[in-house]
Chains A and B, each alone.
Chain A
Amino acid sequence: MTRFILSRLFWAVPIIILILAVNFLLVHLAPGDPVQALVGDFPAPQSYIDQVRHEFGLDQSIWVQLWRYFENLASGNLGYSFANRQPVLDLLLVRTGATLILMIPALTAASVLGVFLALLAAPRSGSVFDSGITALSLFGYSVPIFWLGQLFIILFSIHLGWLPAQGMISLRSAGTGWGYARDLIWHMVLPVFSITIFFIAIVARVARASVVGVLSEDFITTALAKGMSRRTVLWRHVLPNAMIPVVTVIGYNFGYSLTGAILVETVFAWPGLGNLFITSVGNRDYPVLQGILLFSAIMVVIANLATDFIYVILDPRVRRSYGAQNA
C-alpha cells in the first residue's frame, strides 16, 4: 500500500515539471511585449519603459528569469500580476473559490444523477429509457457547453424571467446572511445546471456500461437465485461494484470539468478562474496565465491521486495485483 502511494506520488512529479517547462518556454518565446501592456498605448519616454522593464526583471536573460521563476515557485510565489498589481497566488486563490462553488455542486449532482440513471436504464437494456441515456450522453459529448449556457440565458432569464442571467450576486443584494446566500444560489442555478449536463454525459455512459458488466457477473445470478429481491440486489451488490469505474472517470475527468467551468464562467460573467483567464489574455498578463495553467495542472494531479487512492480502497483486487507485480 505504501509502495503504491509512493509510486503514484512519484509519478505526479514529471507531469508538474513538464507543465512548468511548457509554461515558461511558451511565454518567453511568444511575440508581444508585456511592457507594452504595462506602459499603455500612449507614447512613454524610453527611460520610463526601461525602468518598468528593469523593475519586473524583464531585462535579464531568459535563464536568469527561469531560475528566478523556480526560486519563486519554491517559496510559494507564483509571480506578480502586471495588470492587476497584485500577487498571482492571491488572485488565483480568491478566484478559485468562485470556480469551485460552481464545480463541486455540478460534479456531485452529475455523479449522483448519472449513477442513478444508469441503475434505472441498464437492467432494461434496449428499452426506450436505455436509449434515452445513450442519447443524453451523445448530446453531452457533442454540445458546446457555452452555447448551452447561452440558450439557458435566452430561455430562462430573458424570455421567462425566472432566473438571473449573469454575475454572482445582484447589485441590489440583500447584503448579508441568508439574503446573500439565497441570492448567490439563485445566480448559481443556470451555470451549475450547464456544467452538470456536460458532465452527466460522461458519468452516465461509463456507469451504464459498468452496471451492465456487473449484472452479468455470477454473484448477481447467485444473489437472485437465493431469492433476493431485484431491488436489494441492485442496491447492495450492483451499486458498490459498479461504482469503481465511475469514481475513476469522475476523478480523471476533473480537468475536463475545470474546462467546462471556465467556458461557462465566460457566458455567465462569473468571477472565477475562467473570467480571470480571459481578462489576462487581453492584458498579456503572462504570470497569471502561467499561474492558471500550473494551478489547474496541480488540481488535476491532486484529483488523479485522490482517485487512485479511492480506487485502491474500493477495490481490493487492484491492491493485490499491484502487490504481486511489485513484490
Chain B
Amino acid sequence: MSEKSSQFMRGAKDGFPVVIAATPFGLLFGTLAIDNGFTISEAVLMSALVFAGASQMVGIELFGQNIAPWLILLSIFAVNFRHVLYSATLGRYFKHMSKSQQAIAFFFMTDPQFAASEQRGERGGKLTFAWYMGMAIPLYVFWVAEAWLGAVFGSLITNTEALGITFLLSIYFLALLMSFRGRSLFVPVVAASAMSSSIAFLTLGSPWHVSVGGVFGILVAACWPTRKREASQQ
C-alpha cells in the first residue's frame, strides 16, 4: 500500500468512532428537517453544503418558527463562530498543504475533525492531507446519507437511548480531551471552561455554552502570567 493510501486508511480508522457516534444526530437532523417543513432534498442539501451539526439543528428549529431569514443566518453564524478559532489554530498545521488542499480541508473541519487533527499534529506534525481526508470523507458521506434516511424513515426511528449511542459523542470527546492533558495550562483551562460553560448551559442553554466555555478557557490561557506559564511547561 502506498504511503498516501495507508495514511488515508489510518484517518478512516481514527474517524470510525465518530461515524458511529454521530449517527443518531445525523438521522435526527433529517427527521427534524421534515417536521419543520423542509423537503427531503432540502434536508440532504443542508447536510451536504453546511456540514455542521449543531448549527443545522439550530437553523432547523428556527425554520419551524417562521423567523426572519437574516435572523436564522445570524444564529447559524453565532453557533459556528467557534470555527474561527479552530481555523486559526489548525491552520498552523496546514502550512505544508497546497492552497487548494487547505481550501478543501477547511470545508470538512468539524468539532471531532479539529480535535483529532490537533492531537495528530501535536504528535510529530504528521498531519497529512491524506490522513485528514481519510477521517473526513466517511464522516461526510455518512452524515449526508443519514440526513436522507432520517428524512425518509424519520417516523420509524425508535429510541436510541437504550443503546447509549447519543452518549457516545460525549465519551469520544472526553477521551480526546484527556489526550491534551500534557499541554501547558491544561488544568486551569479545563477548570475555567467547565465552570463558565456549566453556567452558560444552565442559563443561556445549548449550544451557547460551547462558545462561552471556549472563550473563557482561551482567555485564562492568554492572560496567564508569563513566568508561571514557563514554569508549568517544564
**Do chains A and B interact in one complex?**
no
Interface residues of B (CB under 8 A from A): none
Interface residues of A (CB under 8 A from B): none
